[in-house]
Amino acid sequence: MRPIRRIAFVVNAQKPGALALAAALAAQARAAGATVKRTTRFPLPSGWLRGQHACCVIGGDGTLLGVVREAAAARVPVIGVNRGSLGFLTTFSEAEARAGFAALLAGRHRVVDRSLLECRLPDGKRELALNDVLLKDASGSRLVRLEVTANGRLVTEYSCDGLVFSTPTGSTAYNLSAGGPLIQPEAAVIAMTPICPHTLSNRAIIFPESVKLRVFNRSSRARLIVAVDGRRSLCACHDEPVEILLSRHRLGLVQRPGHEHFAIIRAKLKWSGGVTG
d(CA 126, CA 42): 19
| DSSP, residue by residue, the chain | -----EEEEEE-TTSTTHHHHHHHHHHHHHHTT-EEEEE--SSPPTTTTTT-SEEEEEE-HHHHHTTHHHHHHHT--EEEEE-SSS-SS--B-HHHHHHHHHHHHTT--EEEEEEEEEEE-TTS-EEEESSEEEEEETTSSS-EEEEEEETTEEEEEEEESEEEEE-SGGGGTHHHHTTPPP--TT--EEEEEEES-SSTT---EEEETT-EEEEEE--TT--EEEEETTTEEEEE-TT-EEEEEEEEEEEEEEE-TT--HHHHHHHHTT-------
Edge-first strand listing for the sheet containing 162-166: 205-208, 189-195, 162-166, 132-137, 224-228, 232-236
Annotation says 61 is catalytic? yes
| Catalytic annotation, pick one of 61, 137, 161, 229 | 61
C-alpha gyration radius of the chain: 20
Report whether 193 contacts 118 (CB < 8 A). Answer: no
Catalytic residue list:
61
